[in-house]
Amino acid sequence: MTPLTADWVMQRLATDGRAMADVVGEFIKPNDRLTSFERIELYNKQYWFRLIDIMYEDYAGIAALLGRKRFNKFAEEYLKKYPSRSGLLRNLGRKIVQFVSEAPELTAPHTQMVLEMAQCEWAQVEAFDAPQKTPLTIDDLLGKDPATTRLTLQPSITLLDLHYAVDRLLISVRKEGLRSEASNASEGVGSAPSRRRAAKAERAFVAVNRINNSVFLERLQEPAFAILKSLQAGATIVEAIEAATPEDADAVEWSAQVQEWFKNWMGMRWFCRK
């Protein structure tokens, strides 16, 4: 679809330089109320308005960081480069993380923050409806040698190493969205600058995951995150733990801590059969 002008109307010139009204008039009939141009413009506008609105809903965190006007431009440029390739709207943002890196001018000087928000939001899309594989139980692991055993994480889990607290901002944006839905308010509160201040610079290790069909953003300690990352990359249990062990770790405390983490992860059914 031809992009709209800055005033959100259809372009007056076609890509070959001819007047759009002439081009459209060749194949669309006018009626007694609308010209051919105006009739096609209805579709042209609807395409952009609809898809940008859908992106605004699905990527409310990015919109919160950029503000509505800048987000509209961001979404328009994204859709120009990566139009939908699927009948399922959940796939519309499939390239959004890549796009933030490819077009930094659209998000500068906050590109890294927006990139991490895009990672979080795309991970949420994936977590929402990823397959649920049969979870591993304690019995499945009994008698297994941790030096040779590899664990598979549920497909719904994405591990993110963040440098901004975008996870917390995203949670608050979603909560506000729900509140404004409940009160029929049209917009959430908070300006883009105040949002960006809220997403302060801070290292955070986050697992985006789904439990009982609800999506969560779970903060992890750095060594726990490192273990899961290694397991996800195919390391054995022993290899993963060893790689994450702090140099100054107290052996007894460290061992107890690792056991506690594994117990939690098993409880949340994060490991599954291949």
Q: Which residues sit at the interface with another protein, rule CB under 8 A? A: 1, 26-29, 31-34, 36, 38-40, 42-43, 46-47, 50-51, 54, 83-90, 128-132, 156, 210, 213-214
What is the smallest separation between the CB atom of 39 and another protein, expressed in angstroms? Answer: 4
Taking CA atoms, 13 is separated from 3, 4, 40, 49, 97, in Å, by 11, 11, 14, 20, 32
Which C-beta is closer to another protein: that of 208 or that of 240?
Answer: 208
Rounded-to-integer distance, Cα 154 and Cα 132, Å: 7
Which C-beta is closer to another protein: that of 83 or that of 246?
Answer: 83
Which C-beta is closer to another protein: that of 32 or that of 253?
Answer: 32
Which C-beta is closer to another protein: that of 17 or that of 131?
Answer: 131
Which C-beta is closer to another protein: that of 109 or that of 131?
Answer: 131
Which C-beta is closer to another protein: that of 16 or that of 27?
Answer: 27
What is the smallest separation between the CB atom of 260 and another protein, expressed in angstroms? Answer: 28
Four-residue CA torsion sign, 108, 112, 113, 115: positive
What is the smallest separation between the CB atom of 222 and another protein, expressed in angstroms? Answer: 29
What is the smallest separation between the CB atom of 73 and another protein, expressed in angstroms? Answer: 20
What is the smallest separation between the CB atom of 21 and another protein, expressed in angstroms? Answer: 14
Rounded-to-integer distance, Cα 26 and Cα 20, Å: 10
**Strand order of the sheet with strand 201-211?**
158-164, 201-211, 214-220
Contact at 8 Å (CB) between 263 and 202?
A: no
Rounded-to-integer distance, Cα 209 and Cα 271, Å: 12
What is the smallest separation between the CB atom of 231 and another protein, expressed in angstroms? Answer: 21
Task: Say how far residue 250 (Cα) sits from the centre of its chain.
Answer: 38
Q: Is 220 helix (H, G, I), strand (E, B) or coil?
A: strand
Render the burial of 254-266: b for 16+ CB within 10 Å, e for the rest: beeebeebbeebb
